[in-house]
Amino acid sequence: MQPLLPLALVSFLFAATAASPALAKDDVAAAPAGDLWLDQPSVTGDAIWFPDELVPLAEAAAEVLARPESGGYRVIPFKEVRALWSEVRAGHLPGVRAVCEAAPPPWRLALHHYRGASNASLKVECPAAKKRAKTRPDCTLEIVVFTPRPTGADPDKLDETGRFRAKLPPGESPGQWAERLRTKGLQRAKPPKNAGGLGLVGYMGEPPEEPPFRVELSDVTRSPGWQGFREPPAAPLWPLALGLGRA
């Protein structure tokens, strides 16, 4: 039975690996410029699809992104990235023999493991049908590419370097979407103007008649144009959240 590493030691090992090229030499594959790895795809507004069912869509996106007209990226096989995430969730870190009690977030570890590589998100949004409409509008597949651009002030800085879209019919399976994507390809798109969202959720049920009232801050989003964000992503909004708590 392999020993378990305490949380403090895990944090030290991960921080030291990220900071020390000598320690990272043997267990981290430095990615040449142009390499890219894909996040787990997500679908909203359509049927519920499990991660395994979305693998064909991610693999099709990888093939299209490798085409010259879509950037000619050298895409790291999606199954390899998924295997890394699976190992991390089980407490197995690259180059570490012991099993970790509290492994780092898989996405953060992938940024380090494939250091120098770009990262792409893949989302499919399917809007609801408009009133009196007989058919639903097409879904929009959007891929956003972020490339590491570290600075002295922000070593984790990521810049958007590419955005692609494709229209997909609602109600089809991820496998069908994958074939359509291979056939029609991707169209380059411009990033949206700065925008964001803020969700406020109150009580589920009868609200209290007297204070203190409870308000939950959730679903905070931002566009890539906002600068200066550090973990947690919504940190600049915490003063707003505290202000709501005092209101």
Do the Cβ atoms of 76 and 118 come closer than 8 Å?
no
How far is residue 35's CA from residue 118's CA, in Å, rounded to a whole number? 6
Mean pLDDT for the stretch of residues 9-38: 47
**What is the pTM assigned to this prediction?**
0.66
Q: Which residue has the tokens 């096989």?
A: 77
Sign of the CA dihedral running 42, 149, 219, 144: negative
DSSP-derived letter for residue 68 is: G
Where in the chain are the domains?
4-191, 192-247
- Amino acid identity for residue 101 in this structure: E
In this predicted structure, the answer to whether residue 24 has a pLDDT above a threshold of 60 is no
The strand ranges marked E within 8-133 are: 35-38, 42-44, 74-75, 99-100, 118-125
Summary mean pLDDT of the chain: 75
Please state, as a whole number, how many other Cβ atoms lie within 10 Å of the Cβ of residue 197: 9
Which among 129, 193, 166, 202 is positioned nearest to 41, based on CA atoms? 166
Better-scored residue on pLDDT, 121 or 206: 121
Q: What's the first-to-final CA gap in the chain, in angstroms?
A: 54
Do the Cβ atoms of 102 and 18 come closer than 8 Å?
no
What percentage of the chain carries pLDDT values higher than 70? 64
Q: What are the structure tokens assigned to 164, written together?
A: 């692609």
Do the Cβ atoms of 209 and 240 come closer than 8 Å?
no
Lowest pLDDT segment from 65-74, 154-163, 197-206: 197-206
